[in-house]
């Protein structure tokens, strides 16, 4: 392993030494990340933009898988796909993941088999924008970051045109095939885009360890289709209507107690845009949307099905809208808007036990007509003052929640679950300043406060294994919002001859951090087969996140391209209770000081080297990823350490002509047996779910 | 420059404003002292440790029998002081499962902090009370294997003693000496359709000579003995040949077992 590392470091140094002076493009490309020059220089926080071209250049099975290639973005793997993004250690509702600049999807699955990123396919996207920290407030409350998944929009043409795209992909190991088609066109008044895709993957095998591989039940079938239609009312106004569906069938999750039998998601939205309305009001954007998820999961593909059957059926509906005005007064850019979101969730789990020749069936509410409403007002400002750029935003949210839950859980005067209604007013705000020290170097300091109210799961879930461990979790209707107070310091350097780089350090102090504690079995018993006990979501006083990331990219004009990224986050909780478990029994508890937060990814770095042959038509690329061991693990949560690993990938992109391009390669060339720290454990064992071993892939893109 | 300086100062002040770091007020522990207790479960037949799977025992009805499995629940363990105060063991769990084939169940390290002092006696519920004995309370082994069918009253077996005996003709037959919720049938025919009422067969046990003391930060180990042969004698002589192998749907047999249970449990060593 060390030899490999030395070899690549040597190559890296030789390649850097060989770089010749050329003009710097106004775009910097990091590994899988594109950051524009303007963003680099002016924005006081870290914002990563990923273009469609970059997404097409690597092999991904879902959006979450792709997001893991962005610095300080990790993912939680529970099966073959639907990887749940984690940004700087923040996850789930700590991240605001939206589609098309504001459309939200409430995941149907309490186990998060279907995070928002699982409801859209990579091929549908035109851009991904990841903002780390609570800095982008016009998409809704943001605590740890915002991920905006922008799908391809149709656009008008001077005269009628029609175009088409087709993509075919295949990868070995899990016999994965995917197809995607799109048809788009229109004229200056009416334009459209229709698309659809299908992907079917089998079970994948891990890399070899001692000559042996392990095959996991990770197969899945997914398909999606949709249509967008636009109408240019006049030169200043337009309307865009969109409808799409995504479906999953028999999506297996070996790290969860159940598999996804079916997932049917419908998304519809209507956008109105106006520009240059007055001298001051430059833009008006209005969006309304509705997303509807029906999620059915069971354990019918597990051995336990014969004696104990679990079926969960959940409906989740998110309806909302937003309006935002963009204004400009001299060199002052202002924005102001409001948004609203109504989340409805209802679901039951049916358990059937077959024992002693008899059958017992019971229905449990997972959610009982639960409702969360959030209304927000927000405003933003930015302006340049000579070498300084100021950026600021504020947001005020009114958050209300209620449920028709009838569960009352009170013992010894302690209300564990009672009175489901709650209401909060949350304030978020941020301010940042960028100083251009020289033409090539800038420094930014940004402070932010982001508050988010507890989500559906944290408030109302009833007894399902939804955490990283195998415990059943119980919601807590009386949870308070959690608030992230964050400081970011960013240094950016851009030079025509040397390339561009940035270094960012951040510190987050999360007040009323939402964690979970074990509940006594005398209060409540688990309802999920295999769950050793019950945990309930609670606010703990605080938790802190510290970390840094850096990125370097060589000038794009060079034939030789080099990219380096590195990132680490360190999460800590000052005081937490550890329950002593002896022979399966809780026999006591102790207080742990300065414990690690669970599910924080370790340090990792990636070096990518490519060379542009034939004027960029043929581009081979090597990518070497080195991940350190994660030894800073939560003692209170009995979190195991994870060994480090390194993998090497190779790909080659060939643009045959304007109609055909091919991308092929091999991931995990040395068939390394490894798992990410955030990968969940296989149900019924202490073994983690390993990542796929060596995979050969080829993608063919056709366009007319 | 002054304006730039003012901007930087504003940023720093803003940071301090947002970072509403507060100090935690630690509440001091109340001034009482506590220790712990641990129960060990011993199983005797005729005063000697159980030797399972050997046809060597003879009960009061002169049945020769052997014991293969013993599983049961005790719940709501209560510690009694002479001043009338009690401590219910329930801070973490209030039901304990015992299985002679699962060594970890033969010791119960109680989570609860127990006030120091002298305790007069120990009592508990044999089985599970009606309020707590609900189907799907346990979904995992081993407890889930104690499930009692819903059509027979639901919940869980209080106890299973499985084994075999020699009948009057020396034929070896299996018995399932099971206790749980009983049923009352409209007719002599034992059919689930004729059930008109259920009977809760759990009962309270007060352990004789179970006084003990708890010292600060120390663990008192208390042995609870099940004298298995006592299920079959005093006040009633239980005859396997008369009652047959399975008694889940035989309330009179379970009633006899329940009444025999008053002296089944005793206390062993207290250390």
Dump pLDDT digits (tens) for B158-172: 999 999 999 989 999
Interface contact flag, B139 A449, Cβ < 8 Å: no
Dump pLDDT digits (tens) for A251-269: 999 999 899 999 999 999 9
- Mark which residues 17-46 of A lie under 8 Å from B by CB: none
Interface contact flag, A360 B150, Cβ < 8 Å: yes
Interface contact flag, B136 A522, Cβ < 8 Å: no
Task: Write the DSSP string, A275-327.
Answer: E--SSSEEEEEEEEEEEEEEEEEE-TTSGGGGTEEEEEEEEEEEEEEEEEEEE
Contact A548, A506 (CB under 8 A): yes
Q: Which residues are B206's β-sheet partners? A: B123
Q: Longest C-alpha distance within chain B, in Å? A: 111
The closest of B179, B157, B154, B176 to B165, measured between CA atoms, is B176
Q: Half-sphere exposure of residue A463, counting CA atoms within 13 Å on the CB side? A: 28
pLDDT over threshold 90, residue B18? no
Query: How far off is chain A from B228, nearest CA to CA, in Å?
Result: 25
Q: What is the pLDDT of residue A87?
A: 95
Residue B153 backbone phi and psi in degrees, to 5: 125, -20
Q: What is the pLDDT of residue B80?
A: 96
Q: What is the pLDDT of residue A308?
A: 87
The whole-angstrom separation of Cα B209 and Cα B222 is 12
Torsion angle in degrees (nearest 10) through CA of A533, A539, A541, A545: 90
Interface contact flag, B111 A432, Cβ < 8 Å: no
Contact A580, A588 (CB under 8 A): yes
Ordered alpha helix ranges (H), A364-514 = 456-460
The whole-angstrom separation of Cα A423 and Cα A397 is 10
Query: Per the structure block, which two tokens stand in for B42?
Result: 């011993």
Q: What residue ranges of chain A have pLDDT lower than 70?
A: 1-41
Cα B138-B139-B143 angle, rounded to 5 deg: 55
The whole-angstrom separation of Cα A13 and Cα A360 is 68
The closest of A635, A637, A640 to A602, measured between CA atoms, is A640
Query: Per the structure block, which two tokens stand in for A50?
Result: 């990923």
Query: Which residue out of A388, A483, A513, A525 would a mutagenesis test of the B interface target, given it has the greatest number of B Cβ atoms within 10 Å?
Result: A525
Candidate from A525, A583, A585 with C-beta closest to B138? A525
Q: What is the pLDDT of residue A599?
A: 93
Candidate from B19, B24, B150 with C-beta closest to A358? B150
The whole-angstrom separation of Cα B159 and Cα B153 is 15
Q: What is the pLDDT of residue A342?
A: 97
Name the residue of chain A whose CA is nearest to B132's CA.
A522
Dump pLDDT digits (tens) for A130-177: 999 999 999 999 899 999 999 999 999 999 999 999 999 999 999 999
* Contact A526/B at CB under 8 A: yes
The whole-angstrom separation of Cα A328 and Cα A382 is 10
Interface contact flag, A432 B14, Cβ < 8 Å: no
Residues of chain B positioned with their CB less than 8 A from the CB of A465: none
**Is residue B3 very low, low, confident or very high in pLDDT (cuts 50, 70, 90)?**
low
Q: What is the pLDDT of residue A22?
A: 29
Check if the interface score ipTM surpasses 0.90: no
The closest of A366, A376, A499, A361 to A428, measured between CA atoms, is A376
Q: What is the pLDDT of residue A601?
A: 95
Q: What is the pLDDT of residue B190?
A: 79
The whole-angstrom separation of Cα A473 and Cα A463 is 5
Query: How far off is chain A from B225, nearest CA to CA, in Å?
Result: 21
* Higher-scoring residue by pLDDT: B202, B11: B202
Interface contact flag, B139 A521, Cβ < 8 Å: no
Name the residue of chain A whose CA is nearest to B192's CA.
A358
Residues of chain B positioned with their CB less than 8 A from the CB of A358: 149-151
Q: What is the pLDDT of residue B4?
A: 52
Q: CB within 8 A of A14, min separation 6: which ones?
A: none
Interface contact flag, B20 A485, Cβ < 8 Å: yes
Looking at 3.40.50.300, 1.10.1740.10, 2.40.170.20, 1.10.3720.10, the CATH number of the domain A2-703 comes to 2.40.170.20
Helices and strands in chain A: count of H runs, count of E runs: 5, 36
The closest of B94, B127, B140 to B261, measured between CA atoms, is B127
Q: 3-state DSSP call for residue A10? A: helix
Q: 3-state DSSP call for residue A41? A: helix
Give the count of beta carbons closer than 10 Å to the beta carbon of residue A582: 11
Interface contact flag, A521 B92, Cβ < 8 Å: yes
Residues of chain B positioned with their CB less than 8 A from the CB of A447: 11, 14-15, 18
**Cβ pairs bridging A and B (under 8 Å):** 112
The closest of A433, A606, A455, A586 to A517, measured between CA atoms, is A586
Residue A64 backbone phi and psi in degrees, to 5: -60, -35
Q: What is the pLDDT of residue A78?
A: 94
Q: What is the pLDDT of residue A199?
A: 94
Contact A46, A35 (CB under 8 A): no
Dump pLDDT digits (tens) for A530-571: 888 899 999 999 999 999 999 999 998 899 999 999 999 999
Interface contact flag, A586 B145, Cβ < 8 Å: no
Q: Which residues are B266's β-sheet partners? A: B225
Residues of chain B positioned with their CB less than 8 A from the CB of A589: 111
Interface contact flag, A587 B24, Cβ < 8 Å: no
The whole-angstrom separation of Cα A321 and Cα A452 is 18
Q: What is the pLDDT of residue A110?
A: 87
Residues of chain A positioned with their CB less than 8 A from the CB of B19: 485, 487, 509
* Contact A448/B at CB under 8 A: yes
Interface contact flag, A587 B109, Cβ < 8 Å: yes
Contact A256, A218 (CB under 8 A): no
Cα A688-A690-A693 angle, rounded to 5 deg: 165
Query: Per the structure block, which two tokens stand in for A59?
Result: 């092999």
pLDDT over threshold 50, residue B15? no
The closest of A552, A428, A550 to A499, measured between CA atoms, is A552
Q: Which residues are A274's β-sheet partners? A: A237, A284
The whole-angstrom separation of Cα B2 and Cα B10 is 12
Q: What is the pLDDT of residue A96?
A: 95
Residues of chain B positioned with their CB less than 8 A from the CB of A388: 4, 7
- Chain B positions contacting chain A at CB under 8 Å are 3-4, 7-8, 10-11, 14-15, 18-22, 24, 36, 90-95, 104, 107-111, 135-140, 144-145, 147, 149-151, 154
Q: 3-state DSSP call for residue A36? A: strand
């Amino acid at each position: 392993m060390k030899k490999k590392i030395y070899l690549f470091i040597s190559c890296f140094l030789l390649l850097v030494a060989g770089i010749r002076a050329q003009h710097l493009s106004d775009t910097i490309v990091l590994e899988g990340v594109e950051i524009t020059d303007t963003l680099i220089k002016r924005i006081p926080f870290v914002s990563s933009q990923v273009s469609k071209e970059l997404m097409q250049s690597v092999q991904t099975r879902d959006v979450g898988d792709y997001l893991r290639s962005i610095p300080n973005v990790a993912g939680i793997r529970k099966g073959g796909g639907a990887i749940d993004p984690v940004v700087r250690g923040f996850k789930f509702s700590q991240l605001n993941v939206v589609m098309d600049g504001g459309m939200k999807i409430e995941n149907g699955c309490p186990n998060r088999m279907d995070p928002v990123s699982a409801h859209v396919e990579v091929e549908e996207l035109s851009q991904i924008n990841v903002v780390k920290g609570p800095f982008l407030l016009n998409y809704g409350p943001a605590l740890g970051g915002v991920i905006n998944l922008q799908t391809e929009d149709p656009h008008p043409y001077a005269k009628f045109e029609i175009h088409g795209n087709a993509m075919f992909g295949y990868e070995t190991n899990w016999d994965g095939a995917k197809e995607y088609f799109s048809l788009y066109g229109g004229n200056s008044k009416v334009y459209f885009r229709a698309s659809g895709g299908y992907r079917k993957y089998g079970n994948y095998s891990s890399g070899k360890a001692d000559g042996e591989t392990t095959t996991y039940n990770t197969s899945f079938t997914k398909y999606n289709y949709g249509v967008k239609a636009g109408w240019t009312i006049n030169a200043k106004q337009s309307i865009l209507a969109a409808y799409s569906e995504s479906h999953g069938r028999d999506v297996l999750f070996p790290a969860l107690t159940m598999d996804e039998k079916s997932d049917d998601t419908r998304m519809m939205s209507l956008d109105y845009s106006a520009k240059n309305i007055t001298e001051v009001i430059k833009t008006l954007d209005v969006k309304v949307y509705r997303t509807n998820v029906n999620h059915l999961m069971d354990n019918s593909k597990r051995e336990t099905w014969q004696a104990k059957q679990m079926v969960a059926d959940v409906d989740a509906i998110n309806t909302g809208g937003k309006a935002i005005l963009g204004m400009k007064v001299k060199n002052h850019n202002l924005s102001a808007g409001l948004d609203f979101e109504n989340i409805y969730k209802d679901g039951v789990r049916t358990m059937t036990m077959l024992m002693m020749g008899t059958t017992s069936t019971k229905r449990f509410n997972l959610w009982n007509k639960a409702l969360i409403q959030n209304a927000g007002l927000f405003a933003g400002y930015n302006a340049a003052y000579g070498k300084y750029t100021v950026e600021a935003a504020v947001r005020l949210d009114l958050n209300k929640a209620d449920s028709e839950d009838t569960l009352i859980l009170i013992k010894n005067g302690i209300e564990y679950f009672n009175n489901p209604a709650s209401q909060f007013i949350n304030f978020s705000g941020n301010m940042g300043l960028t100083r251009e020290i020289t033409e090539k170097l800038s420094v930014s300091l940004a402070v932010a406060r982001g508050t988010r109210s507890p989500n559906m799961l944290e408030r109302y879930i009833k007894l399902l294994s939804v955490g990283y461990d195998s415990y059943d979790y119980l919601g807590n209707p009386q949870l308070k919002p959690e608030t992230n107070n964050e400081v970011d310091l960013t240094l950016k350097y851009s030079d025509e001859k040397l390339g561009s780089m940035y270094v960012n350090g951040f510190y987050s102090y999360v007040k009323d951090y939402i964690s979970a504690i074990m509940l006594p079995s005398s209060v409540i018993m688990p309802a999920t087969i295999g769950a050793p006990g019950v945990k309930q979501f609670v606010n703990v006083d605080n938790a802190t996140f510290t970390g840094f990331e850096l990125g370097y990219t060589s000038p794009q004009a060079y034939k030789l391209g080099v990219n380096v990224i590195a990132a680490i986050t360190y999460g800590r909780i000052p005081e937490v209770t550890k329950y002593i478990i002896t022979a399966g029994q809780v026999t006591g508890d102790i207080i742990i000081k300065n414990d690690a937060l669970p599910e924080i990814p370790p340090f990792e770095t990636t070096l990518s080297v490519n060379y542009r042959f034939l004027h960029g038509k043929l581009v081979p690329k090597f990518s070497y990823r080195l991940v350190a061991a994660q030894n800073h693990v939560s003692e209170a949560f009995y979190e195991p350490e994870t060994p480090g690993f390194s993998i090497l990938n190779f790909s080659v992109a060939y643009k045959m002509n304007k109609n055909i391009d091919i991308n092929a390669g091999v991931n995990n060339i040395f068939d390394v047996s490894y798992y990410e720290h955030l990968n969940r454990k296989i149900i019924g064992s202490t073994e983690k779910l390993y990542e796929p071993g060596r995979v050969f892939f080829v993608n063919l893109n056709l366009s007319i | 420059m002054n304006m730039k300086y003012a901007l930087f100062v504003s940023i720093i002040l803003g940071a301090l404003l947002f970072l509403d770091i507060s100090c935690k007020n630690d509440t001091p522990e109340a001034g009482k002292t506590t220790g712990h207790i641990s129960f060990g479960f011993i199983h005797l037949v005729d005063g000697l440790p159980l030797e399972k799977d050997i046809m060597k025992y003879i009960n009061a009805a002169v049945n020769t029998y052997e014991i293969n499995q013993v599983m049961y629940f005790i719940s709501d363990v209560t510690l009694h002081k002479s001043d009338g105060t009690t401590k219910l063991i329930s801070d973490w769990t209030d039901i304990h499962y015992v299985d002679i084939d699962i060594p970890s169940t033969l010791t119960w390290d109680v989570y609860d902090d127990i006030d120091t002092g002298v305790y007069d006696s120990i009592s508990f519920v044999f089985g599970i009370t009606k309020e707590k004995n609900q189907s799907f309370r346990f979904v995992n082994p081993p407890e889930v294997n104690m499930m009692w069918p819903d059509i027979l009253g639901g919940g869980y077996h209080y106890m299973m003693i499985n084994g075999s005996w020699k009948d009057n003709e020396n034929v070896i037959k299996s018995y399932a000496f099971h206790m749980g919720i009983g049923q009352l049938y409209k007719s002599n025919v034992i059919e689930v359709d004729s059930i008109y009422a259920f009977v809760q067969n759990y009962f309270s046990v007060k352990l004789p000579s179970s006084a003990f003391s708890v010292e600060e930060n120390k663990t008192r180990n208390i042995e609870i003995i099940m004298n298995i042969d006592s299920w079959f004698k005093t006040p009633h002589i239980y005859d396997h040949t008369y009652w047959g192998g399975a008694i889940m749907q035989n309330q009179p047999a379970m009633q006899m077992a329940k009444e025999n249970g008053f002296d089944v449990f005793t206390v062993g060593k207290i250390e």
